[in-house]
Amino acid sequence: MRMSNDKENTSSPSEFKAQGLLTNKGVKVEERSSIDALSQRGYGAAEKTALTLAFYEALFLMDKQNLSVKDKKGSQVDFESLLHTYEAADENAWMHYIIYRDLRSRGYVVREGFGTAIDFRIYERGTYGKETATALIVSTQEGKPMPMEDLAKALSQTQSLKKELVLAVMNRRGEIVYYSVAPLTFK
């Protein structure tokens, strides 16, 4: 996978604005037009009458001014409060959000990963809903040890799915560096 450095313009609001309700699992969107707009763009997990956004998706959409969130009492939730809620559920919340934001800003559709090690699945521009994910992302922070068994297990799982494994490393300045992971072969 070639990681493009092309950044989308993330400062201007898009053509839709969704309303969400903060839950323990993320942010729930119930308005039909917002559900359709978000799911077409590769956001959220659809339920019967709602769409649940993962915390990192909700943070990204809030940052782009495409989402406003209220808590169960009806009070407006700001970016920082939502981030604190996410951090209570995931000790790597900031890293996951930064990697998600970076991948989205490069034009990829980013979906939740699976298993214990895979954080994200990514789809090339224009392929979401038409093709399967091209790569699976494992994320870590610079200087934080990662057990080789976890990386080997993720690589094995990725190979069995005929996908590319990418290691996303967030450095101390919050920049993301991507490494393609492949098995070592001897000739």
Give the residue extent of every domain in the chain: 18-89, 93-181
**pLDDT, tens digit (0-9, with 9 covering 90-100), for 10-20:** 434 456 799 99
Compute the chain's Rg from CA coordinates: 17
Q: What is the pTM of this model?
A: 0.87
> What homologous superfamily does CATH list for 18-89?
tRNA intron endonuclease, N-terminal domain (3.40.1170.20)
Q: Taking Cα atoms as reference points, which of 6, 38, 7, 41 lies closest to residue 20?
A: 38
Q: What are the DSSP calls for 107-154, one per residue?
A: T-EEEE--TTT--EEEE-TTTBTTB--SEEEEEEETT----HHHHHHH
Task: Specify the pLDDT at position 105.
Answer: 94
**pLDDT, tens digit (0-9, with 9 covering 90-100), for 60-93:** 999 999 999 999 999 999 999 999 999 999 999 9
> Which residues contact residue 160 at a Cβ distance below 8 angstroms, ignoring those fewer than 6 apart?
none
Task: Specify the pLDDT at position 9.
Answer: 40
Task: Specify the pLDDT at position 4.
Answer: 54
**pLDDT, tens digit (0-9, with 9 covering 90-100), for 90-120:** 999 999 999 999 999 999 999 998 877 899 9
Task: Specify the pLDDT at position 151.
Answer: 87
**pLDDT value at 1 more than 70:** no
The pair of three-digit structure tokens given for residue 39, joined into one six-digit string: 């799911």
Average pLDDT value for residue range 119-123: 94
- In CATH, the number for domain 93-181 is 3.40.1350.150
Average pLDDT value for residue range 136-145: 93
Task: Specify the pLDDT at position 56.
Answer: 97
Q: What are the DSSP calls for 25-48, one per residue?
A: SSEEE--HHHHHHHHHTT-SEE-S
Backbone dihedral angles phi then psi of residue 35, each to the nearest 5 degrees = -60, -45
Q: Across the chain, what does the average pLDDT equal?
A: 88
Average pLDDT value for residue range 120-134: 89
